[in-house]
Amino acid sequence: MPFRKLPTLIVFISFLSSVLVAQNEITKLPIIPNPSISRLSEGTFSINNMTGITFDKELEASANYLKDYIEKGSNIRLQKGKGIFFIKDNSIKNPEGYLLLVIPGKIEIKAKTDQGAFYAVQSLRQLLPETFENGSYSSKNVYIPATSIFDEPKFQYRGMHLDVARHFFSVEFIKKYIDMLAMLKLNTFHWHLTDDQGWRIEIQKYPKLQEIAAYRNETLIGHYNTDPQQFDGKRYGGFYTQEEVKEVVAYAKSRHITVIPEIEMPGHAQAAISAYPELGCTGEQISAATKWGVFEDIFCPKEETFEFLEGVLDEVLDLFPSEYIHIGGDEAPKTRWKACPHCQNLIKEKGLKDEHELQSYFITRMEKFLNEKGRQIIGWDEILEGGLAPNATVMSWRGTNGAVEAAKQHHNVIMTPTSHLYFDYYQSENDDEPLAIGGFLPLEKVYNFNPIPKELSDEEAKFVLGAQANLWTEYITTEQQVEYMVFPRMLALSEMVWSKPENKNYDDFVQRVEHFHKRLDALGINYANHLYEIEGNLTANGYELKTLTNGKNIRYSLDGSEPNLDSKIYSNPIPINENTYIKATVFDDGTKLGNTFSQAINPHLAFGKKITLNVEPNKAYSGSGATGLINGISGSDKRFGDKEWLGFWGDDVEITIDLGEEKQIQWIKTRFYDAQGQWIYAPKNIEITFDDGRRFPMRPDTSILHPKKSIKYVSIVTNIKSRFLKIKVKNFGTIPEGKQGAGNKAWTFIDEIIIK
């Protein structure tokens, strides 16, 4: 029976199950994101100059997209007529779903909407040679394997964010970025247009936003935590004209991507206030911020400010047809409001409890304005504080608690936690990675994130619309670096939000990523390739080495020498009985791939012994668990999120170590991360207690200077006999006003506890 005449989706699925499963071998297609149902069968379809294309009118745009793609990528010119068929099919319930059938006689794409047909084209695109991407395919024929696919997304919101306020990127690059999203079936582009360091959108009613707020006097060099901070002394900035914005929005629409603008309020407003000082509480002239962080000058909730913001949003609404407008709502210090007579009078006048409820009043008022215009607001999860605006959607970034709270209140939620979806975090433990804000977010962690918090019931889970990855650009200065930070992690994001859990398999995904790299090469995308890196783990059997891709050898040395073709091939865990320095490299057919892996392991008295904690580390930063604190391996000096650092959010931690028998303890040493720009503070104090009851209180030692001043040490010389040690770590507490994360609990990050 010709597939074109199959009447319903149910018949098609039955067709896949009964006919294609009967093939001698079923091979997974190398498509990202992984389709719902896909089968590779016998035979091919040939596209050449004799191939025709025909379409139902509603699917014309996607048909033309495919035609243009093929003709720009090769010398093949498609004709009108039979060969490739685009067929509108109302039996497909999901408007983003599609059916794709490739058989020796034809290609059929069925979809209810052009959006579904467009996603079918993106899957078909990945079955064509990579050389189509750069126009270098030269043959007169291209053969596509016989294939059957039924596909639809798991989540309706599949987003990617880009911050252009910290660093500005061209319209052409924004279009390329949108093309990357479209290729991976992402459907939302969150455009972060305003912040303390720059205002990036033309507002004709307020020309000083372009003249003043779009520029800063200089920019921080290096990391925020560097002491002393240094600046480049160069004026920096730019903005998008309204015509350019319209161009971007139209371009995105043609690829079925909704552009959601973000206009920050009430915080992250220093650039805007630099242009119009009367919008702040002090009325004093300030400049756009020249470094990163959280700043006290925020919008003052007075009528003049609301008139300004409504005027801005009127023009924004004319440019962006999106249902949602993002209004920020995050990191708004209340210092100015507490000292402002107008704000304090407004709190009394409106019967508000405090400044947090004043922020809720601010957000609710702006929401009402947008609702009256037929739009909805999205805000970062701080908009929960002081009471959530009636119709707001919450973007949960400070973990998942905000999402759980909002969903239980029956508010829509978009998941974007820092721990799994902040692509400005390091993606490798290599020392040569480009400067990043901190943290550690490898590909696997992105891939394995579940956007549905386990605390939600099935009914509450329906309020989770999907997920989004964020790229903040404080440390990302070029377009090439943007690409490096998002790829290949964007591939993991796409599969996480599109594919059903039963269709996800990380090992299989890695093999498809390796194949997809060829397409990224052809597209000229500067992706990060960490597939040939080695991961090491200490187990009860010894030190294990593994690499992500199949069919390759790991060669290693134990004396710190560089591995070569004469080095041992890894096959079993390496016993660790003494100080060991492992170096290992992946080889394929005699060729070295990737960087050399290095790991020093230094056993000590607590190595392999029993350790317990009074609280579990935060699930976002659980590292290697409690045993990671005594496994002989120190964490990275550069990032706090690797598997050796354990993170605790606001908890006092009590650590008990059982050495098994009484031991002579000469000294104890450990260290803490202290990166206040990332809400991480060294503990207030530490106390170590021994069997005989002796206690040693101390504070992190700032006299021991480390090249990274964000590392704080604790060390003690004891010469005491003891079997048990108890180490109490007192959390810093609440982050003070004027600091990044003010009002939130501080994080504590602890590294290896070395006992000699």
Active site residues: 195, 268, 331
Q: Phi and psi dihedrals of 95, rounded to 5?
A: -65, -15
Distances in Å between the Cα of 724 and the Cα atoms of 476, 749, 755 are 47, 23, 12
The answer to whether 132 and 523 have CB atoms below 8 angstroms apart is no
- Please, where are the H alpha helices in 458-556? 458-461, 479-486, 489-498, 506-523
Residues linked to residue 557 through DSSP beta bridges, in sequence order = 583
DSSP SS3 for 396? strand
Spatial separation of the C-alpha atoms in residues 444 and 660, rounded to whole Å: 36
The answer to whether 384 and 411 have CB atoms below 8 angstroms apart is no
Task: Say how many CA atoms lie within 13 Å of 41 toward its Cβ.
Answer: 20
Q: How many other C-beta atoms lie within 10 A of the C-beta of residue 728?
A: 17
H or E element that contains 367: helix 355-372
Angle between helical axes of 242-253 and 171-183 (0-180°, round to 10): 20
Closest CA to 746 of 698, 686, 687, 676: 676
Spatial separation of the C-alpha atoms in residues 196 and 540, rounded to whole Å: 50
The answer to whether 643 and 429 have CB atoms below 8 angstroms apart is no
Spatial separation of the C-alpha atoms in residues 378 and 416, rounded to whole Å: 13
Spatial separation of the C-alpha atoms in residues 643 and 655, rounded to whole Å: 18
Spatial separation of the C-alpha atoms in residues 159 and 483, rounded to whole Å: 16
The answer to whether 577 and 609 have CB atoms below 8 angstroms apart is no
Rounded (to 5) percent helix, strand, coil in the chain: 30, 30, 45
CA 244 to chain centre: 27
Spatial separation of the C-alpha atoms in residues 600 and 636, rounded to whole Å: 12
CA 493 to chain centre: 8
Residue-wise over 344-372: b if at least 16 C-beta within 10 A, else e?
eebbeeeebeebbbbbbbbbbebbebbee
Residue-wise over 268-300: b if at least 16 C-beta within 10 A, else e?
bbbbbbbbbeebbbeeeeeebbbbbbbbbbbbb
Spatial separation of the C-alpha atoms in residues 592 and 585, rounded to whole Å: 7
Question: Beta-strand (E) ranges in 292-397?
Answer: 324-328, 376-380, 393-396
Closest CA to 213 of 257, 153, 273: 273
**Kind of pairing, strands 215-216 and 236-237?**
antiparallel
Spatial separation of the C-alpha atoms in residues 94 and 29, rounded to whole Å: 22
Q: What is the largest CA-CA distance in the chain?
A: 90
Give me the count of residues in the chain: 756
